[in-house]
A and B are shown apart, each in its own frame.
Chain A
Amino acid sequence: MDNHGSYKSLINIWLLLMFFTVTTVGAAQFDFGAWNVPIALIIASFKAGVVALHFMHLKHEDSMTWVFATYPLFLLFLLIAFTATDMFTRVAN
């Protein structure tokens, strides 16, 4: 039922994750200025996506599960966006 793919594919996914880990540690040795955080987040998101889709079988789940798995990210974005906007648009009197 949930037996998608083979042991080999699991190990390949793991190798991919190792590659991304090396990449992110390597990228941290350089200074990309304002791009440091976005680059780290993008690589982390690749890794997270791979874990979610393949290790957690999100790829094979129904749409309701997708909604519940991804909507919290939107809410998180809301929390950060509004709070940050408040923090950084206050005007000193």
Chain B
Amino acid sequence: MREITYRQALNEALAEELERDPNVFLMGEEVAEYQGAYKVSHGLLQRFGPRRIIDTPISENGFAGLGVGAAMVGLRPIIEFMTFSFSLVAFDQVVNNAPNMFTMSGGQFNIPITFRGPNGPAHQLGATHSHATENFYASVPGLKVCTPATPRDAKGLLKTAVRDDNPVLVLEAELLYSSKGMVEPPDEELLIPLGKADVKREGGDVSIICYAQTVPLALKVASQLEEEDISAEVVDLRSIKPLDEKAIFDSVEKTHRVVIVEQDHPFCGVGAEVCYRIQKNIFDALDAPVLRVSQEDVPMPYNERLERAVLPNADKIMAAVKKVCYA
């Protein structure tokens, strides 16, 4: 194991998959000559050439559709959105074409495509550039959605996504690109399956279920809780769809108390689905109502103080944990 950044981990995943399979190509805005808007594709043009690392005009709907069409005839495109907020311009291709094709064609055309890029609020980018899209996309049958929170998960999930025969969205965490973590050496194949959550910290009193940018936040809160003699388990979903019900239930059956921390909006958010499944399947395991900490239900304000108020933060998580622990 060695320590690398989340950005480097993604870069390694791309390079390894491009190296492994000649049908894989990377396409998007500024991915080639500019080396990636967030430098995730750094060096790939030099290594793999312009046939496989392809800059596009600012036409998300056009190049997302191009990817779906190329996937229909056997290529395995990786389409980068400069941010998933811009994927909304390509919503028709991501939601209407990619996941529907397999069904509509009676199983003749599966779409092995990866859509990837940063997702979720960053810092003072305002309402149009701060979308957390995981709940929109997870609600679409035919799509798979994953949300890595660590360099290791980022590498392993992206590589798995590229090899998947379905459309997979890899929602990267913009604020985590420079974060560091331990990852297997490059000569060791690292594949992390979709639909497997990961207990990032074990604990016995409360389960904090989280993903993406909320994972480091939850871990921080869990350390603080230790000082107050509350032992929090941090469950990183890693994949939103498929959802690892078993890992969730295992943790909740141990702790009997749940706080879900999500980076999307509360109405029809990821936490609503998780909560529904918990109460439906293991109602008797609960010792307190399930609480959710999400964004506030408003478009993201630019003002820094207001933005902080909208986002999930340590204080909100702490308060929720104490409430479910009746502490």
Whether chain B is bound by chain A comes out as no
- Which B residues fall within an 8 A CB radius of A? none
